[in-house]
Amino acid sequence: MRTLIYNCRLYINGKIIENCFILLDDCFIKDFGIENGVKVSYDAKYNAKGRLILPGIIDAHVHLRDQMLSYKEDFKSGTASAVLGGVTSVIDMPNNLPPTDDPAKLKDRINLAKDKILVNVGFTCKPSIDYVINRELIRQGAIAFKAFVYEYIDDNINLGFLDKIMSAIAEMNKKLMLHCNIKASYKEVINLVKRRNMAKLCKIEGYLTERVLSLAAKHGTKIHICHVSCPVTLKTINQYKDLVDVTSEVTIHHLILNYDLVERIGPLAHVDPPLKSKYTAKTLFKLLREGYIDIIVSDHAPHALNEKCLSDPKPGFPNLQLMMPILLTQVKKGNLLLSDVIERASRKPALIFKLEKRGAIERGYYADLVEVDLKRKFKVKSDMLISKAKYTPFEGMTLIGLPIRTYVNGICVNDDYMIIGRGGEGMILTSEVSHYGAKSEASA
């Protein structure tokens, strides 16, 4: 099946070019360029009406939930949120119920997901100290490992268990994604915010990052530091760049929001790691532009509304649907370049997690594309969210740039900001040969 997208604008070699086309052949990009009267045969066509087409975002930090947490989110509602947010691939975290921590559970999760997903999904697993189990996790399709450092801290903070884990995955050529923070309770966060002093939390984030990177240097483990929320952490990461294969991410909320919002709206802005000061957010933005942070993620972490209203509210909120509009609004404001968005939200995540033929508009690459309407301005409202979690700390913010159409593996799954995919259009992402289903990359 050949699909022609015509009358579009493309960002090529640093410039936006008018009157372009993209020709898709099944799930791949066959050709693209300036229309110039070129005649091609096709089975279906879409008129982009002069709108810009970008590579879909690859969001490397997402909690899709489902299984026993499907009351918070399921594969369909989570990946539909991605589609409307211009996100065409996501990497799922393992803190599920049951947790994704052994090969059988991973297999169950993949089997459950494959017919429901509207975007491509890669799965991470909690690593084992057993080399054989880790090998099997990869064989079953794990794309990376993810560990929450606070789960391994004993009284002496000796991280002995994590040391063993790092050794057990060192040669596997897979990233170990690390959450390098302690869990701060909402009450504690409120107290710190009142004093306008998050130094304690930043000190811990920087300290734990230093500790894990020194272990990684010993074992040769490849590390990805999740949701960096303090500049000091980046300084540490930078110091280890020559010793460790280390990359880092920042969330859209740590770039744009700050703890004033926690004072204003309370638990709905509670997240782990907690929001920091306006000055810190600005500094993170600057460090992102300067290349000290590799990628931008959503950390989409939906919870039921009642769980957000407890005295000890769950941390996190649903961000996927706002990803592209938030980033394009920052471009409009002059805080980011369009090339930064493409680099940090599409190309680089594909490189870091070895997602072959994704993350760019190139011939032979998967047709994961987003048509954006850069003129469409809208005010964020909770009831527009397709996630099961109908609240957002971005409520009331005016954004510009709406993903009008989203193509996943060459299939249009969002037409005019309406989900038309039925589920199953997304593939299970693996960075090795996949063993799953007709829709795995290996058989595509």
Stretch of 297-305, 398-406, 422-430, 436-444 lying at the interface with Zn ion (CB under 5 A): 297-305
Stretch of 121-129, 277-285, 288-296, 313-321 lying at the interface with ligand DOR (CB under 6 A): 313-321
Report the residue from 66, 92, 102, 272 that binds ligand DOR according to the rule CB under 6 A: 272
Stretch of 11-19, 198-206, 309-317, 358-366 lying at the interface with ligand DOR (CB under 6 A): 309-317
- If the CB atoms of residues 94 and 403 are measured against ligand DOR, the closer one turns out to be 94
* Shortest reach from residue 20's CB to ligand DOR, in Å: 40
87-92/120-125 β-pairing: parallel
* Shortest reach from residue 434's CB to Zn ion, in Å: 24
Our CA angle for 278, 279, 284, nearest 5°, is 100
- In the residue annotation, 299 being an active-site residue is answered as yes
* Shortest reach from residue 265's CB to ligand DOR, in Å: 15
Stretch of 135-143, 201-209, 280-288, 295-303 lying at the interface with Zn ion (CB under 5 A): 295-303
- If the CB atoms of residues 299 and 373 are measured against Zn ion, the closer one turns out to be 299
Report the residue from 55, 78, 206, 316 that binds ligand DOR according to the rule CB under 6 A: 316
Q: Is residue 439 a contact residue for ligand DOR (CB under 6 A)? A: no
Question: What is the length of the chain?
Answer: 444
Kindly write down the DSSP assignment for every residue of 209-223, as one continuous string: HHHHHHHHHHHT-EE
Among 254, 310, 243, residue whose Cα is nearest residue 281: 254
SS3 content of the chain, % helix, strand, coil (to 5): 35, 25, 40
- If the CB atoms of residues 299 and 371 are measured against Zn ion, the closer one turns out to be 299
Going residue by residue from 99 to 118, which x/- string records binding to Zn ion, judged by CB under 5 A?
A: --------------------
* Shortest reach from residue 183's CB to ligand DOR, in Å: 8
Report the residue from 30, 114, 146, 179 that binds ligand DOR according to the rule CB under 6 A: 179
Q: Contact, 441 vs 134, CB < 8 A? A: no
Q: Long-range contacts made by residues 23-26, C-beta under 8 angstroms, separation at least 24? A: 24/367, 24/407, 24/410, 25/1, 25/410, 26/1, 26/410
Going residue by residue from 212 to 251, which x/- string records binding to ligand DOR, judged by CB under 6 A?
A: ----------------------------------------
Q: Is residue 382 a contact residue for ligand DOR (CB under 6 A)? A: no
Is the C-alpha dihedral spanning 107, 108, 113, 114 positive or negative?
Answer: positive
Q: Is residue 70 a contact residue for ligand DOR (CB under 6 A)? A: no
- If the CB atoms of residues 187 and 286 are measured against ligand DOR, the closer one turns out to be 187
- If the CB atoms of residues 64 and 402 are measured against Zn ion, the closer one turns out to be 64
Question: Total residues contacting ligand DOR (rule CB under 6 A)?
Answer: 9
Q: With CB cut-offs between 5 and 8 Å by kind, which of Zn ion, ligand DOR, none does residue 315 bind?
A: ligand DOR
Q: Is residue 74 a contact residue for Zn ion (CB under 5 A)? A: no
Q: Which residues contact 347 (CB under 8 A, 6 or more apart)?
A: 55, 359, 360
Cα 310 from Cα 298, distance rounded (Å): 24
Going residue by residue from 198 to 217, which x/- string records binding to ligand DOR, judged by CB under 6 A?
A: --------------------
Catalytic residue among 294, 299, 368, 373: 299
Q: Contact, 140 vs 106, CB < 8 A? A: yes
Q: Which residues contact 436 (CB under 8 A, 6 or more apart)?
A: 110, 111, 114, 141, 428, 430
Q: Is residue 271 a contact residue for ligand DOR (CB under 6 A)? A: yes
In a 10 Å sphere around its CB, with 0-12 CB exposed, 13-18 middle and 19+ buried, how is residue 254 labelled? Answer: buried
Cα 299 from Cα 278, distance rounded (Å): 20
Among 169, 165, 114, 164, residue whose Cα is nearest residue 144: 169
- If the CB atoms of residues 95 and 167 are measured against ligand DOR, the closer one turns out to be 95
Q: Which two tokens stand for residue 132?
A: 């054989």
Is the C-alpha dihedral spanning 166, 212, 245, 217 positive or negative?
Answer: negative
Residue 165: count other Cβ atoms within 10 Å of its Cβ: 24
* Shortest reach from residue 159's CB to ligand DOR, in Å: 18
- If the CB atoms of residues 66 and 299 are measured against Zn ion, the closer one turns out to be 299
Residue 139: count other Cβ atoms within 10 Å of its Cβ: 14
Report the residue from 228, 301, 327, 427 that binds ligand DOR according to the rule CB under 6 A: 301
Per-residue burial over 395-413, b = 16 or more CB atoms within 10 Å of its CB, e = otherwise: eebebbbbbbbbbbbbbbb
Q: Is residue 315 a contact residue for ligand DOR (CB under 6 A)? A: yes
Q: Is residue 299 a contact residue for Zn ion (CB under 5 A)? A: yes
In a 10 Å sphere around its CB, with 0-12 CB exposed, 13-18 middle and 19+ buried, how is residue 76 labelled? Answer: buried
Q: Is residue 63 a contact residue for ligand DOR (CB under 6 A)? A: yes
Task: Name the site residues for ligand DOR (rule: CB under 6 A).
Answer: 63, 95, 179, 271-272, 301, 314-316
Give me the active site residues, please. 299
